[in-house]
């Protein structure tokens, strides 16, 4: 795993869920035609357009097209392809590939079910990345890069294809899934059950950083300082410190001072582990990856992950507590998966604090937070729990809690899943005892533009409004030292911000409880590649 996968939580996604009913964007490259329905005429497409259910897209020779969804999912259509958007409702996203090639990266949430139909197969996505190719005779070839895909053929046969496998489906039926050759880089990626793993995907894209105590920081492992321009044209002084408080923990502190504006924003990231971690932080990613679906008992795992951002008045803190990996039967995903180790529990919380929070209903309340204490100017805005064999015996239980009209945490959504049951895995879960639509931020939040700078820019915005009228927003940008937002192919998505290179990650967090203030922090990721050496620019590290 690359080092930046350790800080995937820098995405700080503010919304607990996203609506598939928002705009789907088609980005053409080359000769592309589209039509709103099969009864309409084909129209050339030369610029980005919105598409809806019923639309058909076809690509010409030496051409390709990107299809981008508001939840971060994206498809790339190869040349000479014919593709249809069939259904984009809340509970289902259905598509058809009649001819050509489709490469997909799915970031959908637990309640979404992605299906791709071809002339020979129906592929129900339980994972994140896969590649489908359909020939002129309708035969379908599929390879899974990460996750699991459930495939049905025209003869009534079903197979589950994991991240180590590929499958051929002809008009006369399917072959058995086969392992990708060890020389293929995808062979090393572990299968990760979608219905369970999606908690972790969200947590890795929005968690990290503990409170800055004081500046007893000169005995640190590494330090960095530089002057930069932010995305809004303001000069910023960055200072960063990489610390090792214990041999099983590392902490990153980062400060952003804008002298012209007279502001100081800072944050911290803290990762704690069960046992000693290497001095080389770039090796920690392998420990995190080994927590999930390992065939052997992990000797080390992450126990806590915390991120904290503040403007010295208001703050946002997001934490995850991980239970020890336990042996679980995942045979519902296929006999080739079987027993694997997986965290027994994952408990994520988002906590706001500040003078405005102190005045809001629910401030200081411990109801449903699972915490032993909370300040009078703090409140838990959102909590997400996953446990195995605790809430209900022998199954995973997935629960979302959000603030209600009184500012108190209330159960919004709960689903159970028996990972050993093919029927439950196929259905996307078992019992659904809770769903309170009245407090669902997805239904309350008004429309907003998730791509402020437009497609092709590493600039992504998320926004949620809650039942008591409170709001939380997050904007993320990859910015050069000169203040230019990074150009990217397609549209920004949460995983865009894991990109390595020479840039700063700028995070702007807002809430109407912050009384008109926002938190605007820059982080230079290159400090995470340093090991036991002081690295700085020629100028002083003092503000």
The answer to whether 125 and 160 are in contact (CB under 8 A) is: no
**Is 537 a domain residue?**
no
Q: Are residues 188 and 279 both part of a single domain?
A: no
Q: How many CB atoms lie under 10 A from the CB of residue 436? A: 15
| CA atoms of 384 and 401, how far apart (whole Å) | 6
Sole residue written with tokens 């592309």: 32
Token pair for 289: 């990856």
The answer to whether 520 and 510 are in contact (CB under 8 A) is: no
pLDDT value at residue 349:
97
| CA atoms of 190 and 1, how far apart (whole Å) | 12
Residues in CB range of 420: below 8 A, 6 or more apart:
329, 330, 331, 332, 394
**Is 413 a domain residue?**
yes
Query: Of the spans 12-16, 122-126, 208-212, which averages the highest pLDDT?
Result: 122-126
The answer to whether 374 and 362 are in contact (CB under 8 A) is: no
Q: Are residues 286 and 173 both part of a single domain?
A: no
Calculate the average pLDDT of the chain.
Answer: 80
The answer to whether 379 and 368 are in contact (CB under 8 A) is: no
Q: How confident is the model at residue 112 (pLDDT cuts 50, 70, 90)?
A: very low
H/E run at residue 229: strand 222-229
Token pair for 318: 């997001």
User: Helix, strand, or coil here: 288?
Assistant: helix
pLDDT value at residue 143:
86
The answer to whether 517 and 20 are in contact (CB under 8 A) is: no
Q: What share of the chain is helix, strand, coil (3-state, %, to 5)?
A: 10, 45, 45
Q: Are residues 179 and 318 both part of a single domain?
A: no
Q: Are residues 181 and 310 both part of a single domain?
A: no
425, pLDDT greater than 50: yes
453, pLDDT greater than 90: yes
Q: How confident is the model at residue 129 (pLDDT cuts 50, 70, 90)?
A: confident
Higher pLDDT pick, 133 / 216: 133
pLDDT value at residue 211:
32
Q: Are residues 286 and 146 both part of a single domain?
A: no
Among 78, 29, 28, 79, which residue's Cα sits nearest to residue 51?
28
The residues that bridge with 477 in the sheet, in sequence order, are 459, 506
Q: Are residues 170 and 315 both part of a single domain?
A: no
H/E run at residue 378: strand 378-388
H/E run at residue 444: helix 441-444
Number of domains in the chain: 2
| CA atoms of 99 and 132, how far apart (whole Å) | 10
How large is the average pLDDT for residues 316-344?
Answer: 93
| CA atoms of 116 and 288, how far apart (whole Å) | 31
The answer to whether 346 and 324 are in contact (CB under 8 A) is: no
**Is 294 a domain residue?**
yes
Indicate the Cα dihedral angle 98, 102, 105, 107, nearest 10°: -20
Where in the sequence is the domain holding 313, given as residue range(s)?
Answer: 207-214+273-441
How large is the average pLDDT for residues 187-193?
Answer: 33
Q: Are residues 30 and 151 both part of a single domain?
A: yes
pLDDT value at residue 189:
35
Q: Are residues 167 and 312 both part of a single domain?
A: no
Query: Of the spans 144-148, 149-153, 179-183, which averages the highest pLDDT?
Result: 149-153
Residues in CB range of 353: below 8 A, 6 or more apart:
314, 315, 316, 317, 375, 377, 378, 379
Least confident of 131-140, 271-280, 428-437: 428-437
199 dihedral zone (left: phi>0; alpha: psi -120 to 50; beta): alpha
How large is the average pLDDT for residues 332-349?
Answer: 91
pLDDT value at residue 528:
65
Domain boundary (143, 163, 198) is at 198
Residues in CB range of 12: below 8 A, 6 or more apart:
205, 206, 307, 309, 316, 318, 474, 476, 507, 509
Residues in CB range of 171: below 8 A, 6 or more apart:
119, 120, 137, 138, 139, 154
Q: Are residues 179 and 282 both part of a single domain?
A: no
The answer to whether 399 and 413 are in contact (CB under 8 A) is: yes
Domain boundary (174, 198, 222) is at 198
Q: How many CB atoms lie under 10 A from the CB of residue 451? A: 18
Percentage with pLDDT > 90 across the chain: 46
Percentage with pLDDT > 70 across the chain: 79
Sole residue written with tokens 């894991």: 498
| CA atoms of 148 and 80, how far apart (whole Å) | 27
**Is 138 a domain residue?**
yes
How large is the average pLDDT for residues 211-222?
Answer: 40
Burial class (CB in 10 A: 0-12, 13-18, 19+), 85: buried
520, pLDDT greater than 60: yes
H/E run at residue 523: strand 518-523
The answer to whether 354 and 315 are in contact (CB under 8 A) is: yes
Dump strand ranges (E) for 390-503. 396-403, 409-417, 434-435, 459-465, 471-479
Q: How confident is the model at residue 199 (pLDDT cuts 50, 70, 90)?
A: very low
Residues 276-293 have pLDDT tens digits of 998 887 788 889 889 988
**Is 88 a domain residue?**
yes
466 dihedral zone (left: phi>0; alpha: psi -120 to 50; beta): beta
Token pair for 171: 């008009």
**Is 284 a domain residue?**
yes
pLDDT value at residue 244:
84
| CA atoms of 492 and 329, how far apart (whole Å) | 36
Q: Are residues 297 and 386 both part of a single domain?
A: yes
**Is 231 a domain residue?**
no
Residues 221-245 have pLDDT tens digits of 556 678 889 999 999 988 888 888 8
pLDDT value at residue 299:
96
Q: Are residues 191 and 318 both part of a single domain?
A: no
Q: Are residues 281 and 175 both part of a single domain?
A: no
pTM above 0.75, yes or no: no
pLDDT value at residue 113:
62
pLDDT value at residue 384:
94
**Is 418 a domain residue?**
yes
End-to-end distance of the chain based on CA atoms, in angstroms? 35
Q: How confident is the model at residue 428 (pLDDT cuts 50, 70, 90)?
A: confident
Q: How confident is the model at residue 503 (pLDDT cuts 50, 70, 90)?
A: confident
How large is the average pLDDT for residues 15-35?
Answer: 71
The answer to whether 383 and 349 are in contact (CB under 8 A) is: yes
Domain boundary (441, 464, 493) is at 441
| CA atoms of 302 and 305, how far apart (whole Å) | 7
Q: How confident is the model at residue 63 (pLDDT cuts 50, 70, 90)?
A: very high
294, pLDDT greater than 50: yes
| CA atoms of 478 and 485, how far apart (whole Å) | 6
Q: What is the CATH number of the domain that holds 107?
A: 2.60.120.1440
């Amino acid at each position: 795993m690359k080092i930046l996968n350790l800080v995937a939580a820098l995405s700080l996604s503010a919304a607990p869920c996203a609506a598939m009913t928002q705009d789907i964007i088609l980005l053409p490259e080359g000769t592309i035609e589209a039509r709103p329905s099969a009864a309409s005429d084909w129209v050339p497409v030369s610029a980005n357009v919105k598409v809806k259910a019923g639309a058909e897209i076809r690509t010409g020779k030496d051409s390709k097209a990107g299809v981008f969804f508001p939840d971060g999912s994206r498809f790339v259509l190869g040349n000479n392809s014919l593709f249809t958007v069939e259904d984009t409702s809340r509970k289902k996203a259905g598509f058809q590939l009649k001819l050509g090639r489709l490469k997909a990266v799915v970031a959908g949430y637990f309640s979404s079910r992605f299906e791709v139909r071809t002339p020979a197969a129906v592929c129900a996505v339980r994972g994140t990345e896969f590649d489908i190719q359909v020939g002129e005779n309708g035969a379908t070839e599929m390879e899974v890069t990460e996750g699991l895909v459930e495939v049905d053929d025209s003869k009534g046969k079903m197979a589950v294809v994991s991240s180590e496998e590929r499958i051929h489906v002809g008009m006369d039926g399917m072959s058995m899934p086969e392992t990708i050759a060890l020389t293929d880089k995808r062979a090393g990626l572990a299968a990760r059950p979608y219905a369970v793993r999606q908690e972790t995907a969200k947590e890795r894209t929005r968690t990290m950083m503990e409170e800055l105590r004081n500046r007893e920081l000169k005995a640190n492992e590494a330090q960095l300082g530089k002057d930069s321009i932010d995305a809004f044209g303001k000069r910023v002084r960055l200072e960063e410190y990489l610390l090792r408080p214990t041999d099983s923990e590392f902490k990153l502190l980062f400060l952003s001072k804008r002298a012209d504006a007279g502001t100081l924003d800072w944050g911290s990231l803290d990762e704690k582990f069960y046992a000693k971690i290497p001095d080389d932080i770039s090796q920690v990613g392998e420990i995190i990856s080994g927590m999930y679906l390992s065939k052997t008992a992990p000797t080390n795992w992450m126990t806590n992950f915390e991120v904290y951002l503040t403007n010295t008045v208001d703050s946002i803190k997001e934490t995850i507590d991980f239970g020890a990996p336990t042996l679980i039967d995942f045979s519902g995903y296929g006999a080739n998966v079987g027993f694997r180790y997986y965290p027994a529990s994952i408990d994520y919380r988002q906590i706001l604090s500040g003078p405005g929070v102190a005045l809001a209903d629910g401030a200081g309340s411990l109801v449903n937070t699972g915490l032993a204490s909370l300040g009078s100017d703090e409140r838990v805005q959102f909590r997400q729990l996953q446990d195995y064999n605790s809430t209900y015996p022998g199954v995973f239980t997935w629960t979302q809690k959000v603030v209600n009209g009184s500012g108190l945490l209330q159960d919004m959504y709960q689903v159970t899943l028996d990972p050993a049951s093919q029927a439950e895995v196929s259905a996307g879960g078992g019992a659904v005892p809770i769903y309170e639509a009245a407090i669902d931020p997805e239904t309350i939040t008004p429309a907003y533009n998730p791509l402020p700078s437009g497609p092709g820019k590493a600039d992504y915005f998320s926004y949620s409004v809650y039942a008591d009228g409170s709001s939380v927003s997050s904007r993320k940008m990859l910015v050069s030292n000169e203040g230019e937002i990074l150009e990217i192919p397609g549209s920004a998505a949460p995983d865009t911000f894991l990109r390595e290179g020479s840039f700063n990650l700028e995070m702007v967090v807002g809430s109407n409880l912050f009384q008109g203030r926002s938190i605007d922090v820059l982080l230079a990721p290159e400090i995470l590649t340093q090991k036991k050496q002081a690295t700085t620019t020629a100028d002083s590290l003092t503000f």
